[in-house]
Amino acid sequence: MEGLESTTIASLTRNVMYPSAAVTAAAPLSTPATPATPATPAPLAAARDLRAMLPDELTSWVAAAGAPGYRAEQIFRWLHGHGIETLEAMTNVPATIREALEHDHPLVPLTQATVQTARDGTRKLAFRTHDGRAIESVLIPDEDAVRNKLTLCISSQVGCAIDCRFCATATLGFGRHLGAGEIVAQVYRATALAGRRPTNLVFMGMGEPLHNFDNVSRALALLEHPWGAGFSPRRLTVSTAGLVPGIDKLGALKPAPNLAISLNATTDEIRERIMPINKKWPLAALLDAARRFPLSHGRRVTFEYVLLAGVNDSDADADRLPRLLRGIPAKVNLIPWNPFQGPEFQRPSAERIRTFQERLRKAEVSVYIRSPRGDDIDAACGQLAARELVTIAPRA
Ligand code: SAH
């Protein structure tokens, strides 16, 4: 990812402010090509986290510990099938093995701090990491009771380095990557809270998942394994602001999950202003990556498009979008901008949103409007900022 792994894009672009949504002047952004400040590394503990170990790693550990091979499957099932939170809960695993595990690979805790329920039934789960950082996940029940879908939106980083102008998470800056164990723990906590496994998982919470590729791909493997939660890759969606090398790496995974791209503009000029990452990977490169992404029969790339009044919601935008997507099996999700304190963007009127959708429809684009879910508790797209927890001091 050409330096992105160890740097924060935010540090390069954060000083350039857009005082209003009327982004007409040319943006004097420095080009985010060279690394600046090193990112805070994930704490060491995350590397040893028992919950982050893949079945073959557990199998090797079990063999080295001189225990029978079936213990690896037992341990994995407890962690990823039952979502246990303490080693003592592994009742059929001998204490000697549990103690050895505790020594070599302690379970890194993810403490559930609060749950807020929105009027529409959406629930926001706030967590505290072992080093006192705050992250959030959002459980979104389907409005259609018959389909009975339950979508869980999970975080991949503490804060975010990408600095999209319209996003609340960006205002936190970059904290650190989440370990794979911390990513999957959100799923198991939400499962316990909901009383059932989510049907769909989307990496659309805090952070840029492809900036944390290694931990996210490991989390996908953990979630898909039949010994554990056994999610079908069709039920997993990774959303990106447009990290092109990461998209290629995601597409090379076997199996690959679904891809969502936060497109949000139809010209490089506008996209650069609202998403500085576009300087590094402009629209043409991004759409080429989408074209290369392997899609099995019937699958499509999702394009998210945050509608910002007067910025990217014109008829000209609606007419350019289908041309950009030509040749890509695509679905477009229009997300009317969700407000938060800070930037002076505005959500377009309901009529503008409908007209925008209609123009796309006429051009035979599959297009949906994402109604804001959980916005009364700041759980809607782009509102996650874990503010109430950021002041909690790290535990000793
Ligand atoms: N970093 C990844 C994952 C986050 S997904 C990505 O950018 O795809 C969060 C989605 O919400 C993105 O599509 C983003 O464009 C959108 N979003 C961010 N802020 C928003 C806001 N205030 N209102 C509506 N959507 C927003």
Per-residue model confidence (pLDDT) at position 257:
98
Per-residue model confidence (pLDDT) at position 144:
81
CB atoms near residue 162 (< 10 Å): 27
Atom 24 (ligand 1) nearest CA: 337
Residue 102: active-site member: no
At 120, the pLDDT band (50, 70, 90 cuts) reads very high
At 145, the pLDDT band (50, 70, 90 cuts) reads confident
Mean pLDDT over 92-106 rounds to: 96
Q: Ligand 1 centre and the CA of 264: distance in Å?
A: 9
Is the model's pLDDT at 4 over the cut of 70? no
Q: Which of 85, 136, 272, 304 is catalytic?
A: 136
Q: 151 vs 27, 197, 271, 311, 392, CA distance in Å?
A: 37, 9, 28, 30, 29
At 46, the pLDDT band (50, 70, 90 cuts) reads low
Residue 99: active-site member: no
Q: Which of 153, 164, 167, 381 is catalytic?
A: 381
SS (H, E, C) the chain: CCCHHHECHHHHHCCCCCCCCCCCCCCCCCCCCCCCCECCCCCHHHHHCHHHCCHHHHHHHHHHCCCCCHHHHHHHHHHHHCCCCCHHHCCCCCHHHHHHHHHHCCCCCEEEEEEEECCCCCEEEEEEECCCCEEEEEEEECCCCCCCCEEEECCCEEECCCCCCCCCHHHHCEEEECCHHHHHHHHHHHHHHHCCCCCEEEECCCCCHHHHHHHHHHHHHHHHCCCCCCCCHHHEEEEECCCHHHHHHHHHCCCCCEEEEECCCCCHHHHHHHCCHHHHCCHHHHHHHHHHCCCCCCCCEEEEEEECCCCCCCHHHHHHHHHHHCCCCEEEEEEECCCCCCCCCCCCCHHHHHHHHHHHHHCCCEEEECCCCCHHHCCCCCCCCCHHHCCCCCCC
Per-residue model confidence (pLDDT) at position 10:
35
- CA separation for the pair 258, 236 (Å, rounded): 6
Is the model's pLDDT at 24 over the cut of 50? no
Per-residue model confidence (pLDDT) at position 34:
34
Is the model's pLDDT at 384 over the cut of 90? no
- CA separation for the pair 262, 225 (Å, rounded): 28
Per-residue model confidence (pLDDT) at position 328:
97
Q: Which residues contact 113 (CB under 8 A, 6 or more apart)?
A: 126, 127, 128, 134, 389
Residue with tokens 């879910």: 373
Residue 381 Cβ < 6 Å to ligand 1: yes
Per-residue model confidence (pLDDT) at position 226:
98
Mean pLDDT, the chain, as a whole number?
87
- CA separation for the pair 81, 56 (Å, rounded): 16
> In a 10 Å sphere around its CB, with 0-12 CB exposed, 13-18 middle and 19+ buried, how is residue 38 labelled?
exposed
Q: Which residues contact 383 (CB under 8 A, 6 or more apart)?
A: 168, 338, 340, 375
At 297, the pLDDT band (50, 70, 90 cuts) reads confident
Per-residue model confidence (pLDDT) at position 49:
96
Q: Which residues contact 319 (CB under 8 A, 6 or more apart)?
A: 359, 363
Per-residue model confidence (pLDDT) at position 371:
85
* 177-218: pLDDT as tens digits: 999 999 999 999 999 999 999 999 999 999 999 999 999 999
Closest by Cα among 154, 164, 85 to 337: 164
Per-residue model confidence (pLDDT) at position 47:
63
Q: Ligand 1 centre and the CA of 324: distance in Å?
A: 20
Q: Which residues contact 26 (CB under 8 A, 6 or more apart)?
A: none
Q: Which residue among 169, 171, 306 has the greatest number of ligand 1 atoms within 8 angstroms of its CB, and so is best to mutate?
A: 306
Per-residue model confidence (pLDDT) at position 3:
40
Is the model's pLDDT at 76 over the cut of 70? yes
Residue 306 Cβ < 6 Å to ligand 1: yes
What are residue 305's DSSP bridge partners? Answer: 334
Per-residue model confidence (pLDDT) at position 43:
52
Q: Are 341 and 311 in contact (CB under 8 A)?
A: no
2 Rama sector, left if φ>0, alpha if ψ -120 to 50, beta otherwise: left
Lowest mean pLDDT, pick from 207-221, 267-281, 365-379: 365-379
Atom 9 (ligand 1) nearest CA: 204
At 379, the pLDDT band (50, 70, 90 cuts) reads confident
At 373, the pLDDT band (50, 70, 90 cuts) reads confident
Is the model's pLDDT at 25 over the cut of 60? no
